[in-house]
């Protein structure tokens, strides 16, 4: 009887562990790049569910033409970011107020992040980031 009770407790703990592990945030700390922009760098720092992001990339051959930083959160594999675009010559990337929003999802293998970005002008597109390291 004691063995059966022990097995039930172990089984219950395993189920609890499996259920709770799905609520842990994916680890996205590192350097990424936008797949469609080879000369891009996106650095993500993660502290629990809080994210800090710094990004820059070329535009029309000018290195670091677009520079932005942001904060956000991650819940499981879902990311929400708010960026402030601080450098954007001849570009509407940041809309009228320099702010963009990204709704993203981390792939199960942790090697890509996909989703969309948008600004206050209604402009937006698909976004895909690839882990560099």
Whether 17 is covered by a domain: the verdict is no
6 falls within a domain: no
Q: Considering the domain boundaries, does residue 62 fall inside one? A: yes
CATH number for the domain including 74? 2.40.128.30
Could you tell me if residue 9 is inside a domain? Answer: no
Residue 133: name the closest of 108, 111, 100 by CA: 111
Q: For residue 79, tell me if it sits in a domain.
A: yes
Query: What local confidence, expressed as pLDDT, does residue 19 receive?
Result: 46
Residue 71 is assigned to a structural domain of this protein: yes
Which residue, 98, 110, 127, is CA-closest to 25?
A: 110
Band of pLDDT at residue 11, cut at 50, 70 and 90: low
Could you give the number of structural domains in the chain? 1
Residue 19 lies in a domain: no
In a domain, 97, yes or no: yes
Whether 37 and 58 have beta carbons less than 8 Å apart is answered as yes
pLDDT tens, residue by residue, 91-103: 666 677 888 899 9
pTM of the model: 0.77
Token code pair at residue 112: 């890509």
Residue span of the structural domain in which 94 resides: 25-131
Mean pLDDT of the chain: 83
Name which of 51, 28, 54 is nearest 42 in CA terms: 54
């Amino acid at each position: 009887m004691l063995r059966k009770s022990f097995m039930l407790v172990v089984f219950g703990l395993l189920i609890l562990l499996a259920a709770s592990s799905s609520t842990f945030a994916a680890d996205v700390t590192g350097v990424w790049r936008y797949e469609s922009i080879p000369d891009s760098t996106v650095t993500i720092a993660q502290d629990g569910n809080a994210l800090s992001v710094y990004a820059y990339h070329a535009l029309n051959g000018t290195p670091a033409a677009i520079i932005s930083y942001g904060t956000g959160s991650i819940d499981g594999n879902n990311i929400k970011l708010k960026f402030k675009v601080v450098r954007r010559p001849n570009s509407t990337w940041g809309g009228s107020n320099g702010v963009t929003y990204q709704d993203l999802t981390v792939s199960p293998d942790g090697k890509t992040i996909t989703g969309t970005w948008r600004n206050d002008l209604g402009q937006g597109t698909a976004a895909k980031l690839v882990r560099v390291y």
